[in-house]
Structure 1
């Protein structure tokens, strides 16, 4: 059964980017191994260790749609309408699509709310997973009870400040089942099913 999951790289102290939106060392693990994992972009091939390669292949091959926030979409210039995962992107925003986009964005859909974004992504993904890859959208989806599994690639670095993976939760604690743990080079990959 298709899941709504999250995946981001996170510092040991819980940040996905510094105060200036720079992910710093969080992506270093993508290029420190000897196993090639192609992305959907012809200009990008990951070089990871064998254990991280298995994690990366599973995350990318199972993704039928990606949900992102407008902030991340703008920072990345919409990935040129071709996210490295290869899945269509659903952008949650209250602003209209950018007028200055370089051509049409046939693989990008814009929605107005987290609920609408996840519903749209599920429709696009069919029987494949939906992955949320923006901290603010993850936080809102957790508060709404829309997340089935949290995936974290925890990186051995301390940021001290910046953009948190998890922010303020509303209501009760979010209980998680025991993790699946995969140690990699420069990343510890964690998957936590969300208890219902």
Structure 2
């Protein structure tokens, strides 16, 4: 079974989204500021254009990913990425109410209603020996509280948003400690940092 990781692109003041879900244009500038093109599997997401250092890291991490876990909010906000996640892997969606217009499971999306442990277990079943990536925000918080996370990754960008949504909002299991950084990569307009969760 592969490891379970989470992370997010974060401002210098610790937010993965600004007030009222703003600031994404600033947080994700690094997705388009380089010369190396990385295609996406989503018909709604343009190819990324990254710096060489960022592209090398993302290609490796995407290649090791076997499944994703996201919440229903992100699934709806992105309109299901046009039918396929950009990373081209099956996405497990944790939700109280599966959509009526889709099957409960197919090669693109699997809907789980039994909680974060069940969602991660289903993603691990799909991923096999590969990594399960859990979306940041609520999913990350629930995984950390449940002791399910092995690593976290931060894409730290040089912007201050002044408020918004932190990566681990309302975390009940504090303090949480991490080892590392186990990886530190300087891209253009972003620093990629990886930590191991202390169990």
Normalized against structure 2, the TM-score is what? 0.90
- Aligned twin of 2:185: 182
Instruction: Render the CA deviation track for 1:45-96: whole Å, top value 9, x for unaligned.
Output: 111111101111122111100100111111001112211111110011112x
Please identify runs of 4+ aligned residues in structure 1 that moved more than 6 A: none
SS of the aligned residue for 1:189 comes to: strand
SS of the aligned residue for 1:54 comes to: helix
> What displacement does 1:172 show?
4.2
Counterpart CA distance in 1 for 2:164 and 2:157 is 15
Counterpart CA distance in 2 for 1:140 and 1:70 is 14
Which residue, out of 144, 147, 150, partners 1:148? 150
> What displacement does 1:41 show?
3.2
> What displacement does 1:100 show?
4.7
> What displacement does 1:106 show?
4.2
- Aligned twin of 2:47: 45
Instruction: Render the CA deviation track for 1:124-174: whole Å, top value 9, x for unaligned.
Output: 001110001131010111011100000111111111111111222224422
How big is the alpha-carbon RMSD for the aligned residues of Structure 1 and Structure 2? 1.9
- Aligned twin of 2:68: 66
- Aligned twin of 2:77: 75
Which piece of structure 1 moves more, 172-181 or 139-148?
A: 172-181
Normalized against structure 1, the TM-score is what? 0.92
Counterpart CA distance in 2 for 1:106 and 1:77 is 17
1:3-152 superposed matches below 5 A: 3-22=3-22, 23-41=24-42, 44-95=46-97, 97-100=98-101, 106-112=107-113, 113-152=115-154
> What displacement does 1:175 show?
1.5
SS of the aligned residue for 2:28 comes to: helix
Counterpart CA distance in 2 for 1:54 and 1:109 is 29
- Aligned twin of 2:198: 195
- Give the conservation status (yes or no) of the 8 Å contact 2:85–2:108: no
| Structure 2 unmatched runs, 5+ | none
- Give the conservation status (yes or no) of the 8 Å contact 2:42–2:81: no
| Structure 1 unmatched runs, 5+ | none
